[in-house]
Amino acid sequence: MSLRNIAIIAHVDHGKTTLVDKLLQQSGSFRENQRVAERVMDSNDLEKERGITILAKATSVVWKDTRINIVDTPGHADFGGEVERILSMVDGVIVLVDAAEGPMPQTKFVVGKALKIGLRPIVAINKVDRPDARPTEVINEVFDLFAALDATDEQLDFPILYGSGRNGWMSTAPEQPEDASLAPLFDLVLEHVPPPKVEDGPFRMLGTLLEANPFLGRIITGRIASGTVKPNQTVKVLDRDGKVVETGRVSKILAFRGIERQPIEVGEAGDIVSIAGLVKGSVADTFCDPSVETPIQAQPIDPPTVTMSFIVNDSPLAGTEGDKVTSRMIRDRLFKEAEGNITLKIEESSDKDSFYVSGRGELQLSILIETMRREGFELGVSRPRVVMQKDEAGNLLEPVEEVVIDVDEEHSGIVVQKMSERKAEMVEMRPSGGNRLRLVFHAPTRGLIGYQAELMTDTRGTAIMNRLFKAYEPYKGEIAGRTNGVLISNDNGEAVAYALWNLEDRGPMVIEPGWKVYQGMIVGIHTRDNDLEVNVLKGKKLTNIRTTSKDEAVRLTPPIKMTLERSLAWIQDDELVEVTPKSIRLRKAILDPNDRKRAERQKDAAA
């Protein structure tokens, strides 16, 4: 059976996972009566909740006696480490673009990587049934994008299809044909995408995805570059430098058949397979026959730009909600995550109670924290800090991102003002249809931490922001941070409605009555710029005097809901977010007020 390997590239929400659903259905991968979940490729809970793809996944369909392996790639640049490795497994890409929004930054990010390694794209304009669809202009924008990314003449001569992934049809014209189906897309893949290049020689495969299976142990997925592999075969694992990591036997070979993985007797060159049985081999390692000496070259990975401290939870409420609280458990979990995700870098601190975790962006790190709290972990997390570098002359360099904001014209002024306060430089401003503007900025990563929530407030939830790592550039200078102080609880206990009501003129609260609080925990936002210790436990003194003025009903203003991402962006360097399976609390890093004052005096003296 002949083979084709393709990846689907699209921006978040442009419909690639939905399209894969329809490809599986129309190729007969599901039984007539099989119940299939919507967005079957978004397998973990967080992907389903947020509607984004976080992990790259593979599937396969058979069309006209050809097996087509399809890889669904993440659209967020924060998960770009997945994308870069995936592209080394495929021979062609389908670039899926929304007929109204056009090509967006994350499309640009992945397409740039694909064009660089010489893949020829197929462009599919999706959602042409939208009332604001503008397919012709979008095609021109795609062409301009490819040209700007230095595509070759062969890559610029791309075939185009129009369609609606949700309704399950593609066609060479924007109008829906009578025999509406995805057959034109399947046929175009067979015609346009070359069969996988197969090299001569013994078995070699580059590890691309890693996962842990409770029954089979570590499973490594990759494309076989040469030779064949069978169960019980002895294989050697080489790292990037050619050093031998381990030698072992393959216990099982699994191949993608529809959405299921099935054991096969032999894995052949060109196919995407998963092998089990090896203990140490990881992503970017070469799995090969014992006679092979040189590893396959892995794609270089963009450097991490943001780092955070993960600290053992030492608050008075530690251990009351989660069951994984020790530094050993946190350490094992973080190092296990780093094995499969090579864009994460983990370092232990000297006191062994905290870990420095560096990644591509705050979204990637907040997804990791959210996953850990759902697994029962408790930990304290610091504010994200940017990873700085130095050039040869010793000058400080910082990561700068390209930021594209689509916004209604009436809100553009406040966006430009806020971005300039964050040391961003506007490089483009153009209309994007329907009284909306597209603003393009080059902004330091430091200034963007926490801006998403502020942007939503400023534009009444109508703006769309997309970010993409651009380069390391000279340090842009100080950026003004949070201007408000915080209200801090001065004792342990349960918050009382009457006390919160009396404190309302001091500033808005972030806790509700009945919440457990402790000394040093942040309970509200101060209206001034200094921190203030308050008593949220003081109940109303009960007397036997009854008057209308005495018995005023306590009517509280609803508190500000602090989500994980918002909390991480909002806290200052001397504060932490306490994350447990049930709660997200804000606290000072040093809980005792006397120790806090002493630390501040020492800091001032050192400065």
Output the known binding site for GTP: 13-18, 126-129
What CA–CA distance (Å, rounded) separates 573 from 566? 15
What CA–CA distance (Å, rounded) separates 356 from 361? 14
For residue 206, how many other CB atoms are within 10 A of its CB?
23
Q: CA angle at residue 341 from 68 to 114, to 5 degrees?
A: 45
Sign of CA dihedral 452, 453, 459, 464: positive
Distant-in-sequence, close-in-space partners of 472: CB < 8 Å, separation ≥ 6: 389, 397, 398, 399, 400
Gyration radius of the chain over CA positions: 27
Residue corresponding to tokens 């939503």: 456
Residue 353 amino acid letter: D
What CA–CA distance (Å, rounded) separates 457 from 399? 26
Question: Which helix (H) or strand (E) covers residue 522, if one does?
Answer: strand 521-525
What CA–CA distance (Å, rounded) separates 109 from 106? 5
Q: How does DSSP classify residue 258?
A: B
Distant-in-sequence, close-in-space partners of 469: CB < 8 Å, separation ≥ 6: 77, 80, 302, 305, 360, 399, 401, 445
- What residues are designated binding site? 13-18, 126-129
Cβ(587)–Cβ(315) below 8 Å: yes
- Phi and psi angles of residue 492, each rounded to the nearest 5 degrees, phi first: -95, 145
Tell me, rounded to whole angstroms, the distance of Cα 580 from its chain centroid: 21
Cβ(344)–Cβ(359) below 8 Å: yes
Across 199-278, the runs of DSSP E, i.e. the strands, are 204-213, 217-226, 228-229, 234-238, 244-249, 252-257, 260-263, 267-268, 272-276
Cβ(358)–Cβ(556) below 8 Å: no
What CA–CA distance (Å, rounded) separates 423 from 444? 7
Distant-in-sequence, close-in-space partners of 487: CB < 8 Å, separation ≥ 6: 503, 506, 507, 509, 522, 523, 524, 525, 526, 531, 532, 534
What CA–CA distance (Å, rounded) separates 111 from 97? 11
What CA–CA distance (Å, rounded) separates 366 from 577? 12
How far is CA 287 from each of CA 59, 87, 100, rounded to the nearest angstrom? 22, 18, 44
Question: Which helix (H) or strand (E) covers residue 192, if one does?
Answer: helix 183-192
Q: What is the largest CA-CA distance in the chain?
A: 96
For residue 33, how many other CB atoms are within 10 A of its CB?
5
What CA–CA distance (Å, rounded) separates 220 from 210? 5
